[in-house]
Each structure stands twice: as structure tokens, then as C-alpha cells.
A and B are shown apart, each in its own frame.
Chain A
Amino acid sequence: MTKPSNPGHAGESVHGHVFRLLSAHARNEGVLLDLGCGLGAVAASCAEIGLDYLGVGAEPDGLAELAGRGFSTAVVDLGEQAALLQRLEEVLAGRSLAAIVALDLIERLTRPAELLAVLGEVARKHPGAPLVASVANVSHFDLAAKLLSGRWDVTSEGLLDERQVSHFAPGTFEHELSRAGWKQIKADDLVARHSDQHFPETLTALSAGTPLHDFLLQVREQSGPGALVDQFVRAYLPVAASQLTAARRPMTPASKGASAPFLSVIVRTQGRRLIPLEDNLTSLAAQTNRDIEVIICCHDTADSDHAAVVEVMERLPRWLVGKIRTIRVEGGGRAHPLQVGVAEASGRYVAFLDDDDLALCHWVDEFDKLVRLRPGAVVRAGCATHSIDEESWECGTGYSQIGPTTTPYPLEFDLVAHLVGNRTPNCSVAIPRSCFTDLGVSFDDELPVLEDWAVLLSASLLCGVASTPEVTSLYRRWKRGYASHLEHPEETWDLTTWSIRGRFDARPLLVPPGTVSRLTQMEMTANTVEQLNKDLDLLKDALATSTAEVADLWVEKGQLLARVEAAEQLLAVAEQRAAVAKRQVKVAERQAAVAEQHVAVAEQRVAVAEQGAAVVTQGVELAEQRAAVAEQHVAVAEQSAVVAQQSVALAEERVVFAEQRVAAVEQSVALAEERVVFAEQRVAAVEQGAALAEERVVFAEQRVAVAEQSAAVAQQSAALAEERVVFAEQRVAVAEQHAAEVTAIAEARFHEFRDAEARAKAAVAERDAALARLDEAVAQAEARVRTEFEATKSWKATVPLRVALKLVDAYRQRSG
């Protein structure tokens, strides 16, 4: 197949990159050994850097042409591994080796590692001589996209040169060189946005801007380096012979991760909350499935805090201690320790716990069950939550649960809902480690919060999610203190949410089966919502009208209520007045009754007076009868006038006298009537006095009530005073008891003192007696010394006694 034009690296060539590497890394002089030299593409530039060119290969025609151009050549069969080393030594003929060049050669060998090993041996004899190699990259995006489209277009040269028998991606190339004993010193790869395989241009997977192309390119770029590398162009030096290991085996599936645990648990901590951390780790010790490793990432932790974390770790059950380790992570934000932890992990899956999270005992096991059902998927379980708060106790400080346990997060995973916002605590998912190592998913340290949501979205879009409603973890929220939901303001959460949404909105997404149904459901829901909104608008209008009507009615009602209130007030006043009138009527009636009683009394008095008057009348009548008698007497007198005119005159005088007496009686009647009037006046005066007396009685009752209240207050005060007196007496009693106790103690101590004094005096006396005995003994001893000396004339014989005497002196000095 004809190689098409290659606009991707127009103006650039592999040879230019090789020349740069040689200029920088080849030795200053000696031979440049060009293996599989072909037409000697680098021969001409060799002289520019002062090296001697030697092209070697197995094709005589090419070598002859090269020799014809004046360059040194030699025939070397690179496939003859057994004799290759010796042959290369021969062609070098003792000359110094400046560098080895192998361009487009390695991929044409069936067992390139063997050639590379021989070259290593050659290079080690010329320290500093590098190997510069170029190899086609079959993991270039163009080839990947074409393979997915079912195309494998071999060409006469380029990425799929028809002579290639080995194929290399970045990892395999590195592995091949490494196992042959070469260490890379510089990479100067040839990058080509469009390689020679970028054809046909109409192929959808190759057409930039199509969702398929953009998505595949995104996957390829996230998967690792080299997506757009056309040729690996790199310089190597051989490692020392002593560093060559026996592990020169090719990569096999079985050698990768055979002993790796199922789950790597990354525990993020700052070493500040040791008690929650200890609980967290104990919850891991309680797991029913122990196929785990635990990596505690201590983020920005002081030495003392890290030591405390290690101490906590070492107090765990032995089996867990063997599966746990700490790493210290410095700098970066919240995401940094997670990413470092992932890099350290070796499990097939990775799960994350903050130091205050708790795993229920089947946390690992439920993940494991899900992975067995859906290998490679992100696995997710239910998560519960409750609030906790710091507490201080007699036995120290810690924390306690302060609220009920709830499950606010959806028990089943919904990708569409998660594209809108995070609904999954980080502790409730496990992600295939391959997502991080092979697909380039990573925690973004630029995100202040929600770094876990971004990773969950990236991983779930690529891997899908297998979930279970079984609740297996507990996300706990602090009421106060350090916590991400308390540390960052609401604005940060909102902005980060929008930022993450924007990232995913800008790229093509791979959605799982069922998404169409979900979106359909959402669309239908949206339509329903729209219709409901319209209905709502209509209802709002109707409501506004009704509200206005109701407002009018309320105004009207208010007016009516005001009127009712006024009427009620008037009625109340009227009722008050009626009540007052009734009371007045009752008073009046009572007064009338009293007055009637007074009247009755007066009438009785009048009756008495009238009886008196009747008596007077009777007297008058008697007087009249007597006057009649007198007239009869007058008639008798007149009849007797003749007898005695003097008697007539006397009789007339007696009549006059009787008239005077009548007049007197009449005056008495008038006087009685005046006395009746006077009695009535006195009755009225008595009534006034009674009313005044009643008022005085009311006033007196009020004074009595006030006096009773004062008496009650006085009684309370008296009771309080009595209580205070009792309390004071109790205090006095306590004080007296205390004083008695103190006195007793003082007396006891005084007796003790007297006893001690007596004992001291006795002791002094004993001491004095002892000293006296001692003095006596000393005098005797001194006498014995003198006697001994006099007897022996030798001071030596007296030494023991003199030593004893010195000891006695020393004792006296010490004891004073």
C-alpha cells in the first residue's frame, strides 16, 4: 500500500531527532556504529559531530553503495547472535566506540532482546557510549482508531512497515530495553498529530470533531503517553553488569498481579483525629472479607502526629498490622493524598475512607460480590450517615453520635442524576485500579472539594457501575471542628459543582444501557413539569383574582368587624350603665324600704301622736261636755239668776275660764302637730346618719382588708425570719460542732505534744546518761591506753583503742 502524505510532522524527521541525541550524548570521538545501516541515513551528519562512521548490515548492495560514497562499512549478520559479539569486536578493530545507532531495526527482529543484550556487552567496554534507537509506535491513535474500525493497513514503510515483526507501545518498548540492560537517558520522540496511517481521512474514527473520534482520542490520551508519538527516538546507556538481573523474562499475563489483594483501602488522614482513625481501622479489623491491603496516607502530618498514627496502627490485631502501612504525603490539596495512595496501591480495586468514616463488617465482602457479578465495573453500595460531635469525659476526650442514622443518598446508582450532582459518598464505592493506571483517571488536585465526584464520574462513564442497596458504610458529619463541609463556604461547593459539570459537558460521554429510557423518562417528566407549570400559571392568575376578591372581602369584613366592635362597645357601655342602674335601683329599693320602715315608724309615731290628739279631743269633748254641763249650770244659774246674779257673773267667769282652757287645749294640739313635724325631720336626719354610717363601714372594711394583707406579709416575713433563724442556728450548730471537733483535735494534739515532750525529755536523759557512760568508758579506755603504753612502751599495741577513741570523738562531733 502506498504511503500517503504525512502533514503531521512536515519538516521534521527521525534523523533530526537522532542527530540531536547524538550531539548531546555521544562520546566526543571514536566510531559511530550504525546497525542495519541501509543507505546510511546518518552517515553524512556523522562528520559534523567529529565521529567516524561505520555502517554494518547484511545487505551487500546497500553497503557497496555506502562504501562507494566513501563511508566505512562491514558485513555483519545481526541474526547470528552467537558470533555477533566477536564479529562486532572485529569490525571495531580496537577503535573507541562513540555511539551505537539502531534506526528502524529493532522492530524488524524476531527476538530483539538478544541483540540488545549483545549491544549492551559491547557498550559496557566503552563507558559512556550510548545506544540511540528509533522504533515505530503501534499505539499511535491513528492505528488504534483504525483497528477499532477493522483496518490494519501494512505499508512499505512507516508505522506499519511491511518488514516489522515486533511491535512496540510505550510500555513494551521500555520493558524490552530495560530487560536487555539498558537505561534511558533521554527521549526525543517524534510526535505526529497525523501519522502516515492517517488514511482514509473520511474514516469517522479519524475525523476530528466527530463524537467517535473525540471520544476515542480522549480515551487514548487518558490511557497513557504516546497517543500521538510516531516514533520513539531515545538514547540509552547500559547498566553495570552487576545490576543485570535474572528477571529477563518477557511480560506475561500471569506475572502481573497474581498475588495482589482484591481491595486496596486508602485511608486519608491528617493525624489530628486519632480516636476516629482508630475506630476506622478497627472497623477494617472487623471485616468478614480480609482480602485487602490498607494504605494510610498521612497528609501534611507533623512528625509527632505521624508517630501517633503509627502507634495506633501497631495496636491493631496482628493480621491487620501485616496488611497495613503508612505513607507520608506532603503538599497539595485534598486530592493529593488520594492520588499518591492510588499510586502505591496494588489491589485489583481501590476504595477510599476518610479517617472519620466507618465500614460496616460486610463492606469489603459486598464489593467483592459485586465484582464477581460485574468484573471491571465500578462497584457501589448504600451508605448511611449521622452526626457526631466532640465530647469531654472523666476518662478523656473523644466524640459521640448526636443524631439518628439516616440514608439520604440514593441506594441505587443513577448516572444521569450523578452528572447533575454528587450523590455518592466516597466511602461507598470501589473503583478498578486499572481505571487509574490504564485509563488515566486521577484525582484533580485543583479541585478544592468534590474531587471524589469527578473521579467517580470519570470512572463510572468508562466502567459502568454495579450497585447494591445494601448499606455497608457510615459517613459521619461533624457538628463542629474541622470537616470539609464546614471548612469550605457554600460558594466554593457551588462553583466547584459548576466547574465539574462544565468539564463533563465539554466532552463526548459514553453512557450505559438504559440511559435512553432514563432520558425519555426525564423528557416526559420535563414535559409534564412544563404542562404543570402552565397549569400553575393559570392557577396563579385565578388565585390572584381570588386573592383580590378575598382582599376586598377582607376590607369589607374589617369594616363590618369595626362596626360590630363599636356596637359591641356601645352595648358594653349600655350594659355597664344598666348594671349601674340596676345597682342604683337596688340601692334605691333598699333605701325606699328603709324609708318605708322609717315612714312606718313615723306613722306609728303619728298614730301615737294622733292617739294623743284623740285623747286631747276627748279632753276637748269632755271639756265641751263640761261646757254643756256648765251651760246647764248656766241655765241652772240663769234659772237661779234671779237667785244670784253674782252667781251668774261667777258662772260667766267660769265660762271664760273654760274657754281659756279650750284655747290651751287647742294650743296643745298645735304643739303636738309641731312635734310630729319635728319627729319627721329627725327621721330624715337619722337616715342621713345611716347612709354616712354605711360609707364609714365600707371604708372601715377596706382598711381591715389592707390590714389583713399587711398582717399576711408580716407573717410571711416572720416565717422567713424564723427559717433564717433556724438556718443560722444550724450554721451555729455546725460551727460549734466544728469548733468542738477542732478543740478536740487541738487537745488531742496538745496531749500528743505533752507525751512527745515527755518522751523527748526521757530520751535526752537517756542520751545524757549514755554520754556519761561513754565519757566514763572513754576515760577508762584512755587509762587503758596509758597503762598499755606504760606496760609495753609501744604505741602500736594501743592502736585499736586509739582508733576506738577517734571514732568516739568523731561521733561526738557529729552529734554535737
Chain B
Amino acid sequence: MPPSSLRVQTVAHAFTPATLLRYVEALAQSLHNARVAGLLGATVVALGDSSEKAGLSKRAQEELREALVYGGADFTYERFGRNLGHAEGHNRLFQTNDSELLLLCNDDVVAGPVAVTELIRGLLARPEVGLVEAHQLPFENPKAYDPVSGETGWCSLACALTRAELFAELGGLDAESFFVDGDDVDYSWRLRLAGYQCTYRPSARVILDQRVDGSGRLLVSPKNERSVAEADLLLSRKYGRPDHFEVRLAFYSEHGSEAQREAAEALRERKAEGRLPSPVAGADTVAFFRDGSYAVERFS
């Protein structure tokens, strides 16, 4: 397996220099280990700053750049000046890509020592693999996967590796429909419609800065909750499930939290304005909807 050039893209919004440094230091180590394994060629880490506040100071940028030297990676920093969201932010960063592989990674991720190594091995193991997702800890996503090949219904883009050529061929992420959430499920399903596989790589382990409440449920902010609800409705429209759309819309309106009610209202307006995404041909061959999940789950 010859060395591959790699672009790591991160769109950061609510961050501190300390959390960015934590992310970059762990990433540098993981890149270093992949380089030692002979898998990595030229590497660049591109950070897109989507925050509305003042950008990262020169000193902080320099600190990140220095930390990445150990991983043999160059560093670029682009300040968007406004919150572009996850999908558009990545599309914007990708405009200057000239690498073969593309790693999309959130800034609250702390990569395990062999995470990058294993993601590359997973993607290049078979030509039909188009997207590989890392094993997220401490709380795993419950979606089912083939225990041998790792094939799964969709991949989270919190930390996932794809082929840059494929990303370009598919037109990147659907920023027109999705802002922060849902773009990963959408990208996964479009990729599968194009004949590629989404796979899960259990040996590529990363830690996410996740918190849980007193009953063990993941903590989500109202903003996240609204975003997830909107994504759920948009996905059901785009992937030919108007019944699901109406049922969920009614559910969010009548029984949802305040954030979910807001999401339902926003989608109604969007519908009235004719701004809902058009259904995708062949959607029924890849799409799966069940109570807010997009794949069969191993546990709940």
C-alpha cells in the first residue's frame, strides 16, 4: 500500500484554543504513527473557523502549526467570518484540496494512536469502500454493522475518511439542505447510490468529548436538538418518505420539546416556500427511517 496524500479538514465553531490544541496534539501523534507505518504522504490540516467572534490569534495558530510538525503535516487556517455550518464549511475548505484522501474530523475529537492508520487501511482495503467511520468512544453509536467487513448503513462525519475524488464527484456535502446535522447521513446514502460502501472501522478508535446526564443519556443543547429534528425531516423529504415526514412533523409539533417545535415550524415555512429538497431517485434502496434512526440498531 503506497503512501497517500491526506487532507484533514475541521470546521470549528464553539472552540477554545485549549480544545483545539488538544485535538491537534492527538492528531499529530496519530499522523506520526501512520507515517511510521508507511501509509502517509504529504499531509495538510485545514482548519475552518466558523465562529462569529474574533479569529484565532497568530500565536495560537503558530502553536497549532508547531504541534503538527511532529505529525509531518502542514497547517492552514481560514476564517469564514460567519457560521457557515458543517456542510458548507467543509465544501469551502475542500476548494483548495489537492490530496487523494480526505479526513473530515470535528475539533472535539481526540484521535487514538492508530486511528489515522486504521482509517487509511480501511478505505484502501477494497476499491468499493467509499467512506470509513472511526470507532467513537466513550459512547458508541448503536447502529448495526457487518461484524466482518464493517459495512454499515451510514457513517458519522465526526471522524471519517473518504476518497477526495469521490467527494468531488458527489459534489461534496449538501449544504443547501443541511446546516450542521444530517449531511453525514445524506453523503453516506448518495455515496451508496453511486455504488460505494460505507464502512465502520472498529480498530480506528477516537475519543469524543461527550457528556451524559444523570441517567446516562447524551447531553445535547436545544440548538443541537433543533438541528437534529430539522435534519430528520429534511432527510425524509429528500429520501422519498413523505409519510415519515408528515408523521414526524406532527410528532414534533404536538409532543416535541420547544426546540423540536421550532424545527417543525421552520420546516412548515420551508415547505410553504417550496424550499424542501427534491426526492432522490432510487432512495428506497438506501434509505432507512425508524424513530429518528437511520439504520438498524444493535441496542437502544
Contact = CB atoms under 8 A, between A and B. Distances in A.
Interface of A: 275, 278-279, 282-283, 285-286, 288, 312, 315-319, 358, 360-362, 382, 384, 386, 391-396, 398, 400-407, 411, 469, 471, 474
A471 B216 CA distance: 8
Nearest to A321: B29
A284 to B, nearest CB: 9
Nearest to A382: B214
B138 interface: yes
A286 B22 contact: yes
Contact of B202 (A360, A393, A403): A393
B26 to A, nearest CB: 5
Contact of A392 (B121, B147, B209, B216): B147
A282 B138 contact: no
A704 B149 CA distance: 58
B207 A286 contact: yes
A395 B137 contact: no
B159 to A, nearest CB: 13
B216 to A, nearest CB: 4
A475 to B, nearest CB: 11
Given A394-B150, A395-B122, A474-B139, 9 more contacts: A282-B26, A282-B137, A283-B138, A285-B207, A286-B22, A288-B18, A315-B33, A361-B207, A382-B214
B29 to A, nearest CB: 5
B207 A283 contact: yes
A316 B28 CA distance: 10
19 contacts: A279-B205, A283-B110, A286-B110, A312-B113, A316-B29, A317-B28, A317-B29, A318-B29, A358-B138, A360-B211, A360-B212, A393-B203, A395-B122, A395-B125, A395-B201, A395-B202, A400-B202, A404-B142, A471-B216
B16 to A, nearest CB: 9
B209 A361 contact: yes
Given A316-B29, A393-B202, A400-B202, A285 B214 contact: no
Interface in B204-250: 205-207, 209-217
Contacts of B203: 393, 395-396, 398
Contacts of B118: 395
Those 3 A-B pairs whose CB atoms lie nearest each other, nearest first: A315-B113, A286-B110, A405-B216
Interface in B7-30: 18-19, 22, 25-26, 28-29
Chain A contact residues: helix, strand, loop or mixed: mixed
A278 to B, nearest CB: 6
A469 B149 CA distance: 40
Contacts of B272: none
A288 B22 CA distance: 8
B23 to A, nearest CB: 9
Interface string B254-266: 0000000000000
Given A282-B207, A384-B212, A318 B298 contact: no
B148 A394 contact: yes
A282 B205 contact: yes
A395 B135 CA distance: 13
B165 to A, nearest CB: 23
B202 A286 contact: no
B77 interface: no
A395 B146 CA distance: 12
Contacts of B142: 401, 404
A285 B26 contact: yes
A755 to B, nearest CB: 36
Contacts of A317: 25-26, 28-29
Interface in B162-207: 201-203, 205-207
Given A391-B147, A393-B148, A278 B216 contact: no
A395 B150 contact: yes
A740 B125 CA distance: 35
B166 to A, nearest CB: 21
Nearest to B110: A286
A403 B216 CA distance: 12
Interface of B: 18-19, 22, 25-26, 28-29, 33, 70, 110, 112-114, 118, 121-122, 125, 135, 137-140, 142, 147-150, 201-203, 205-207, 209-217, 298-300
A384 B216 contact: yes
A360 B114 CA distance: 20
B211 A393 contact: no
B263 to A, nearest CB: 25
Given A286-B22, A286-B110, A469 B207 contact: no
A283 B148 CA distance: 27
A304 B206 CA distance: 26
A406 B217 CA distance: 8
Contacts of B70: 318
A392 B211 CA distance: 29
A407 B214 contact: yes
B287 to A, nearest CB: 25
Given A319-B25, A395-B121, A403 B214 contact: no
A386 B125 CA distance: 32
B122 to A, nearest CB: 7
Contact of B210 (A288, A360, A406): A360
B149 to A, nearest CB: 6
Contacts of A407: 212, 214-216
Contacts of B26: 282, 285-286, 317
A391 to B, nearest CB: 6
B211 A471 contact: yes
A400 B140 contact: yes
Given A392-B147, A400-B202, A471 B33 contact: no
B20 to A, nearest CB: 12
Contact of A471 (B137, B202, B212): B212
Given A312-B113, A358-B137, A361-B207, A406 B299 contact: no
B34 to A, nearest CB: 11
B197 to A, nearest CB: 12
Given A395-B202, A402-B298, A279 B207 contact: yes
Candidate in B18, B70, B138 with the most chain A CB atoms within 10 angstroms? B138
A474 B138 contact: yes
A315 B115 CA distance: 11
Contacts of A394: 125, 148-150
Given A405-B139, A474-B138, A286 B25 contact: no
Contacts of B207: 279, 282-283, 285-286, 358, 361
Contacts of A395: 118, 121-122, 125, 150, 201-203
Contacts of A360: 138, 209-212
A316 to B, nearest CB: 6
Contact of A282 (B112, B140, B300): B112
A278 B112 CA distance: 8
Contacts of B300: 404
A787 B110 CA distance: 90
A401 B149 CA distance: 18
A318 B214 contact: no
B143 to A, nearest CB: 12
Contacts of B217: 405
Contacts of B29: 315-318
Contact of A406 (B125, B149, B215): B215
Contacts of A392: 147
A288 B108 CA distance: 11
B200 to A, nearest CB: 9
Contacts of A386: 139, 216
Contact of B214 (A361, A401, A404, A469): A469
A402 B140 CA distance: 9
A365 to B, nearest CB: 11
A403 B114 contact: no
Contacts of A471: 211-214, 216
A755 B273 CA distance: 75
B66 to A, nearest CB: 11
Nearest to A397: B203
Contacts of B210: 360
A386 B211 CA distance: 15
Candidate in A393, A469, A471 with the most chain B CB atoms within 10 angstroms? A393
